[in-house]
Amino acid sequence: MLRTLLPAPLFLALSIGAAGAEFEIRAVEGLQFDPPRIEAKPGEAITIRFKNADPTDQPHNMVVVKPGARAEVVNAALALGADGPAMDFTPDSPAILAKAPVVAPGKAAELALTLPAEKGIYPYVCTFPGHGFVMYGAIYAGVPMPPLDKDENISPLAREAGKKPEATAEKRPQVQRIFMPDASPAAIAVALPGRQNACWDAGHCRLRYAWEGKFIDGTPYWKGNGNGLAKVLGDIYWSSGKLGDAGAGPDAPQFLGYRLRGGLPEFRYRRGGVLFVETLNELPDGIAQIIRAEGAVSPATIPVPGDDRAAITVSAGALKDGALSVSPADLAQGVRLEIRPAK
């Protein structure tokens, strides 16, 4: 019954045999153990397969300690100083019930122990210097588990993750620079006021894709140190496709920044010596891109790749083979491209 309190993917009791329960506990990104807690019986012989699955390439160990002894053992590990590496950063302490050595990323170790007969909450912790302050979990032996978000025996991040997400309305319009899929690393996500969204690439100085629906989920990037891309939360109906590298070579456009007007960005960039100003505007069923340039002396070619999912109309110039050719006069006036999902 208590086990059902845990979200299923976080809990992995592999099998319960004569040797007692077997568990897999992984070290994961953000100095965390996954699962953050497990349940066993007092006096039970258990085996923990400890796997270092931390994608940020950090070594970790795992030490199971007596109830209440986590801080003491973590501090004793820190006090090992220069002797730490040879001892797997594990102090010689009677408070330690079982230990797994320092495990390199991608590797695993096994840790077997018989839990004491006393009911209790037995912490597991990584005592690699510094990690122990945040990287810990708990074996509940004969003690009921509190709800995850109230559990003081697990790491603060795991406790936080146990909270139900608050249903907050999306802020619109908004501009968020973040790693976006299918763009250069210098991407800008734009939520238009209604239900249209765009990824504009400051590396290429171009619109990369447009979608309808919700904006983005930045959690994969924000939860850690940036080793993840934001998720697009709607249906992409137009994309520039792959573009290769940005910002390399003498002909690369130069991004100059943006000005917010009513919360929406007015992008500025220089391409071929000409200053371009570009805005994104919401249509009831799509997105309108308005590109303006002062002082062009010859017709400009604006790349507008076709996409089977979209219908594109232009206010001026000739759109052919994924390129729009516009006269200096039209550019000075502003060219309007409307992109809509194809019917």
Partner 1 sequence: MTTRIFIAALAAAPFCHAGTLTDYYSVEDIASPPGVDAQVGGLSVSPSGKLFACFHKGEVRVLDPESKTWSAFADGLHEPLGIYAAGDSEVLVMQRPELTRLRDEDGDGAADVFQTVWDGFGMTGNYHEFAFGPAVDAAGNCWVGLNVASNGASVREEVRGAWNDIGVPRDDFYKNWGKVKGAAGRMYARVPWRGWVVKIDPRTGTAEPWAAGFRSPNGLGFDAAGNLYVTDNQGDWVGTSKLHAVKKGGFYGHAASLIWRDGWTENPLKVGAKELDKIREPAAVLFPQGAMANSPTQPLAIPPGVFGPFAGQLLVGEMNQARIMRVDLEEVGGTMQGMCIPFLDGAPLNRGNNRLAFGKDGSLWVGQTHLSWVGATGIQHIAATGKVPMEILHMKARRDGFEIEFTHPADPAAAADPANYAFQRYRYEYHEAYGSPQKDKAKLAPKNVALSSDGKRVAISLEEDIKEGFVYELTVGKTLQSKDGDALLNRLAFYNVKRAPVK
| Residue 2 touches partner 1, criterion: CB under 8 A | no
x-marked contacts with partner 1 along 83-122 as a string, rule CB under 8 A: -xx-------------------x-----------------
Q: Quick one: which of 310, 204, 192, 219 has its CA closest to 254?
A: 204
Q: Least separation, in Å, of the C-beta of 115 and partner 1? A: 29
Q: Considering only residues 120, 123, 224, 253, which one is a binding residue for partner 1 as defined by CB under 8 A?
A: 224
DSSP state of 170: P
x-marked contacts with partner 1 along 276-305 as a string, rule CB under 8 A: ------------------------------
| Residue 243 touches partner 1, criterion: CB under 8 A | yes
| Residue 202 touches partner 1, criterion: CB under 8 A | yes
Q: Using CB under 8 A, which residues numbered 159 to 188 contact partner 1?
A: 174-179, 183-186
3-state class of 10 per DSSP? helix
DSSP state of 142: S
Give every CB contact of residue 172 below 8 A, 6+ residues apart in sequence: 191, 192, 193, 194, 215
Interatomic CA distance for residues 84 and 311, integer angstroms: 64
| Residue 249 touches partner 1, criterion: CB under 8 A | yes
Say if residues 270 and 253 touch (Cβ distance below 8 Å): yes
Say if residues 51 and 27 touch (Cβ distance below 8 Å): yes
Interatomic CA distance for residues 166 and 156, integer angstroms: 18
Q: Least separation, in Å, of the C-beta of 50 and partner 1? A: 19
Interatomic CA distance for residues 249 and 272, integer angstroms: 12
Whole-angstrom CA distances from 185 to 40, 181, 188, 217, 229 are 45, 9, 9, 17, 10
Q: Least separation, in Å, of the C-beta of 23 and partner 1? A: 24
Q: Return the C-alpha torsion angle 226, 228, 229, 233, nearest 10.
A: -120
Nearer to partner 1, 225 or 313 (CB): 225
DSSP codes joined into one string, 26-95: EEETTTEEESSEEEE-TT-EEEEEEEE--TT---EEEEEE-TT-HHHHHHHHHTTGGGTGGGTT----TT
3-state class of 121 per DSSP? strand
x-marked contacts with partner 1 along 25-64 as a string, rule CB under 8 A: ----xxx-----------------------xxxx------
| Residue 131 touches partner 1, criterion: CB under 8 A | yes
Q: Considering only residues 78, 143, 311, 332, which one is a binding residue for partner 1 as defined by CB under 8 A?
A: 78
Which of the stretches 5-13, 144-152, 222-230, 322-330 binds partner 1 when contact is defined by CB under 8 A?
222-230
The CB-based long-range contact list for 8-14 (8 Å cut-off, 24+ gap) reads 10/34, 10/35, 10/36, 11/35, 11/38, 13/38, 14/49
Q: Considering only residues 117, 260, 323, 329, which one is a binding residue for partner 1 as defined by CB under 8 A?
A: 260
| Residue 220 touches partner 1, criterion: CB under 8 A | no
Nearer to partner 1, 42 or 105 (CB): 105
Q: Considering only residues 68, 193, 226, 322, which one is a binding residue for partner 1 as defined by CB under 8 A?
A: 226
Q: Least separation, in Å, of the C-beta of 86 and partner 1? A: 9
Which of the stretches 14-22, 36-44, 239-247, 271-279 binds partner 1 when contact is defined by CB under 8 A?
239-247
Residues lying near partner 1 in the complex (CB under 8 A) are found at: 29-31, 55-58, 78, 81-82, 84-85, 105, 129-131, 133-134, 174-179, 183-186, 202-203, 218, 222-228, 242-249, 255-261, 265
